[in-house]
Amino acid sequence: MHKHSKIYIAGHRGMVGAAIWRNLERKGYQHLIGLSRKELDLKNQADVSRFFEQEKPAVVIDAAAKVGGILANNNHPYPFLMDNLIIQNNLIESSLNAGVEKFIFLGSSCIYPKLAEQPLREEALLTGSLEPTNQWYALAKIAGVKACEAIRKQYQKDYVSLMPTNLYGPFDNFDLETSHVLPAMIRKFHEAKEAGNQAVKLWGSGAPLREFLHVDDMAEAVCFAMENTFDENLYNVGTGEDLTIRSLAELVQKITGHQGEIIWDSTKPDGTPRKLMDVSRMTQAGWKAKIGLEEGITSTYQWFLANKESFKEVKM
């Protein structure tokens, strides 16, 4: 891999894509390509194919996807299945046709069965039923993993899939109606502190265990995969460590400086008891996460403070 190699990052304006772009730029890669949706509609097969024929990138990183929370997935199953299939199929097919030798496909831990043994191992793929609420998105991502695996098998090209655990960091979604647990907590505790240390109400018992990876670590993993040749087609990316939601809440409370009460609403569901990634395959390949959770949340909170004026106001 050369510093002047042409690298196309699909979805470069999203949280993950932007982190990858920053990482590669910092490492001195000089020929990064990123196009907005107006510049290139990834659902338009002819346009995507034409772009690849003209640009002929050496590397493609697929960080583009239609994403959303449980409610959005459950209420709009068709676009979460079909839009993601179309986007990734156009990128994978055009990459193959254009002779792209290195393709990195990014997915999610939701590809694994709902009741798979913990921690989640790559071998668990397709061994059981998916979580019903986000199965549509998961099915699309599984298809992408298998497409890359098929290309490796048939054409011996270096197409690899990376499946991250729960990601957080700068440019995360802090909208309380659609955000994931960690950014939602950061915003809730901050706004409760600003309102005179009001009590913060959180769903469930706080007992479930979750794993969190800073998006800059994810970007490092992508760069590592780009600069090295992997033996397998599928790798989990995470810290290999988890904590209870209750412990997470107490950590966010400490970092934000909130001094009020935390109320756990046990009438609300807890969700899956545990969701931890087995990252031994990635560790054996030579990569490990470096950003500690407290350090990562602190820097994310600082980013939130610097950008909070752009977020929609929510009444406490």
Q: Find out whether 167 and 109 touch, Cβ atoms under 8 Å.
A: no
Instruction: Measure CA 105 to chain center.
Output: 11
The question of whether 235 is a catalytic residue gets the answer no
Rounded distance between C-alpha atoms, residue 231 and residue 93, angstroms: 22
Q: May I ask the CATH architecture of the domain 6-168+212-237?
A: 3-Layer(aba) Sandwich (3.40)
pTM of the model: 0.94
pLDDT attached to residue 58? 97
Beta strand 209-210 pairing with 243-244: antiparallel
pLDDT at 312 (0 to 100): 60
pLDDT for the residue 22: 97
Model confidence pLDDT, tens digit, residues 147-204: 999 999 999 999 999 999 999 999 999 988 778 899 999 999 999 999 999 999 999 9
Q: What is the pLDDT of residues 258-309, one digit of tens each?
A: 999 999 999 988 878 889 999 999 999 999 999 999 999 999 999 999 998 8
Statement: residue 314 has pLDDT above 60: no
CB 162 within 8 A of CB 237: yes
Domain ranges of the chain: 6-168+212-237
CA distance 212 to 251: 13
Q: What are phi and psi of 43, to 5 degrees?
A: -90, -5
pLDDT per residue over 64-77, tens digit each?
999 877 777 878 89
Phi, psi of 9 (to 5 degrees): -110, 105
Task: List residues bridging with 277 in a β-sheet.
Answer: 120
**Beta strands per DSSP E along 223-309:** 234-237, 243-244, 262-265, 274-275
Answer for the pair 42, 90: CB distance below 8 angstroms, yes or no.
Answer: yes
Of 8, 29, 112, 137, catalytic: 137
Rounded to an integer, what distance in angstroms lies between the CA atom of residue 152 and that of residue 216?
Answer: 27
Q: How many CA atoms lie within 13 A of 257 on its CB side?
A: 8
> Mean pLDDT for the chain?
94
∠ CA 264-267-268, nearest 5°, is 80
